[in-house]
Chains A and B, each alone.
Chain A
Amino acid sequence: MKQFILLLAFISTASCLSAQDIFFTKTGKIGFDATTSSSPEKIAGTNKSVTCVVDTKKGDIQFSMLMKGFEFERALMQEHFNENYVETGKFPKAEFKGQIANNSQVNYAKDGTYPVKVKGNLTIHGETKTAETDGKLVIAGGKITASADFNVLLSDYKVAIPSLVSDKVAKTAKISVDCLLEPLKKN
């Protein structure tokens, strides 16, 4: 019995400790824009149900989203995005798993804006490549806003653009990240 109580005590303290360091959201926003100057219309979509988790102690940061969740102004563009370009039926998820390189410079206990460098592996369309970007963390009232803008070369992820529209779709897509993270409460 004593053992059992001790065991429980240890488990609860262990999980309490880790929970304090973890911030997350399931409604983060990621935008995608592949418009060029010769595009007849705006080629841009937004995903508003991105999962993002940050371990502030270790500086780990991870994103995950369903590619199907991207919404476009034009229904046909959304269909082409899903069917022809990123093939969401075959590759439903996109993920990023990385680290905040300068995590020690971020004081999570103090409100403020902190520039960060993030490095890690980005998986889109079944292809994993290392990615690196500058972003910023805004800490305010016990919550973290993570934002970043970076470019993704579509050919790196084997997203083929047919020659017919090659001048109308940008070869690099601008990705913008905007996530409001809250502390994770265990149970």
Chain B
Amino acid sequence: MNKFTGCLLLSLLLLGTAPVWAQDTDLLKLVGEDKPKKEYVKYAFKSPRVINGHSMEFLNPGTMDFRILHRFGLVNQGYKNFFGMDQASMRMGFDFGVMKNLMFGFGRSTYKKELDGFIKYAPIRQSTGPHHSPLTVALVAGMTMDGLPWADPTRQNFFTSRLGYYFEMILGRKFSEGLSLQLVPTMVHRNLVDLNADPNNVYALGFGGRIKLSQRIAFTWDYTHVIIGMPDSGYYHPLSVGFDIETGGHVFQLHFSNSTGMNERAFITETTGNWAKGDIRFGFNLSRVFQIKKRKSF
């Protein structure tokens, strides 16, 4: 009997509480939370380049980035050269996004009339969720071709002497919406160097980053420390600092840099400006991304 009343009480209790429980329910919880999915971290940098060097960011598939880069003359030459504005060196480039983690591009610089091309691929991309990765690992292989007339036409010149190569591994992480950092071990090989004493292989470590100041403006820097292969005098480690400004369709990268070259071979091995002496140049990169392949219609 006692047991029976217990049952009755319990069932009454349950009947009484059930509707209350239903009222409080968040309907969305009834269908179950979505399983956490692996999501790639995007938009670590505004552009696939930090300033001079490659960034951990990729172009979207089906897009082309038309890049016009300018480096002016030395700022410390003063008014007679209008703080360097009277001279300009430029590079025009076309980069293409093939897959979310694969892109390639080429460009031509006025400096040494040099052509350059590269392929960039990320086997690992920073992601959240199951099997996440804290880092993006991207590999870049590039090639440069000097277009100047032979310095000494009397000797036997080989086409291969015009060529240079570079290989990079970009280890990057977007730490937060506001901060992205990357380390870039780099190797540059030049088939022909100016002097006997110059090494053909140069090893360097790049350190680039971005601090977002607002939705459309970011502070960026791009430093490459040449570890092995730095000539004894006359050459410096390239350092560029600047701002990324996004204006709808364009990204403007305005910066100060001690290098003139705008491809890896040129700015890593041939930077002649000394920041300490004010041998810096104003420069800007203009990036305009075009959708060249229509995405499936929505």
Contacts and interface: CB of A to CB of B under 8 A. Distances in A.
Contacts of A68: 39
A2 B7 contact: yes
B60 interface: yes
Interface string A149-162: 00000000000001
A53 B63 contact: no
Contacts of A7: 10-11, 14
* Range of interface residues on A (Cβ < 8 Å): 35 or more
Nearest to B62: A75
Contacts of A45: 298
B247 interface: yes
B151 interface: no
Interface in A45-87: 45-46, 51, 53-55, 60-62, 64, 68, 71-76, 79-80, 82-84, 87
B3 interface: yes
A6 B291 contact: no
A44 B298 contact: yes
B295 interface: yes
A171 B284 CA distance: 33
Contact of B30 (A24, A75, A97): A24
Given A75-B63, A82-B43, A84-B216, A184 B7 contact: no
Interface in A1-41: 2-3, 6-7, 10-11, 14, 18, 22, 24, 26
B28 A76 contact: no
A109 interface: no
Contacts of B39: 68
Nearest to A40: B249
A26 to B, nearest CB: 7
A46 B298 contact: yes
A90 to B, nearest CB: 7
A164 B31 contact: no
Given A14-B14, A73-B294, A83 B43 contact: yes
Given A10-B15, A22-B27, A164-B248, 18 more contacts: A2-B3, A2-B7, A7-B14, A11-B14, A14-B18, A22-B30, A24-B30, A53-B30, A68-B39, A72-B298, A73-B291, A75-B62, A75-B289, A75-B295, A76-B249, A83-B43, A87-B215, A95-B28
